[in-house]
Amino acid sequence: MSVRTIDVRERVMERNDAIAADVRRRLRAAGVPAFNLVSSPGAGKTLLLERTLADLGRELRIAVVTGDVQTQNDADRLARHTDRLVQAVVTNGACHLDARQIDTALDAVDLAATDLLFIENVGNLVCPASWDLGEEAKVVLFSVTEGEDKPAKYPKMFREARYAVMTKLDLLPHVGFSIEEAVAIATEVNPRLQFLFTSATEAEGLDEWYGFLRGQVRRRSAA
């Protein structure tokens, strides 16, 4: 008797990509850019979003979906800085968000009254790299407390990302980290990667980050 092998993972990924395409169509029809923030645990995603909501929340109508393996702590932190709904996806062990979760979350978002969507993914540089969520782009956060060779160790994430945000620049005097070396390694992995440099604690580089976000919103509104 012959044997038929079914690649379950391939089937799951195909289904995810189909849902992600629907999410992307919904967002583009509404003129809402969406950014999927990815990083190692502790790189500063939540703090950067806290500052962004506090500083831009009155100017831009920002929706947020957060993902965490356990607890909704990050969502609770962000909710203190906005009167809009912050949605927490607790994955109960899964190491990434998927497009179905984002599609469901969008049902509770008034896209006509939204300028920008942030997806704060689970802290992990492996699993989220393979999952399309329907975002405009992946934004990888890379802190100066990590090794310069992080992009070489996790090349798929840095290849999939369109933007890289260097974080925790206020700690540079206290760590042996070379920004020049880190950028060189990341650029070797992905020559098209665009960089921003920030410290959410000291508000360093945030004007550039905010300018980037404003520009993305204007560009999508004009499309």
Q: Quick: pLDDT tens for 43-52.
A: 999 999 999 9
What band does 156 get if pLDDT is binned at 50, 70 and 90?
A: very high
202: tokens are 């000291």
Q: Which pLDDT score is estimated for 33?
A: 97
In a domain, 196, yes or no: yes
Question: Residue 134: left (phi > 0), alpha (psi -120 to 50), or beta?
Answer: left
Dist CA 147 CA 125 (whole Å):
14
Answer yes or no: is pLDDT of 1 > 70: no
| Structure confidence at residue 69 (pLDDT) | 87
Which of 42, 32, 67, 4 lies closest to 171, judged by CA? 42
- Strand blocks (E) in 93-145: 116-120, 137-143
What CATH number does the domain containing 36 carry? 3.40.50.300
Report residue 3's pLDDT band, with 50, 70 and 90 as the boundaries: low
Confidence (pLDDT) at 220: 85
The pLDDT assigned to 9 comes to 62
Residue 3 located in a structural domain? no
Residue 2 located in a structural domain: no
What's the domain count of the chain?
A: 1
pLDDT score recorded for residue 59: 97
Q: What is the pLDDT of residue 2?
A: 59
Looking at the domain assignment, is residue 83 inside a domain? yes
Output the average pLDDT for the chain. 94
Distance, in Å, from the CA atom of 169 to the CA atom of 48, rounded to the nearest integer, reads: 12
Residue 1: inside a domain, yes or no? no
Note the pTM of the prediction, 2 decimals.
0.93
Provide the residue range defining the domain that includes 104. 8-222
Overall average pLDDT of the 58-82 stretch:
94
- Position 69 in a domain: yes
Q: Taking residues 61-65, what's their average pLDDT?
A: 97
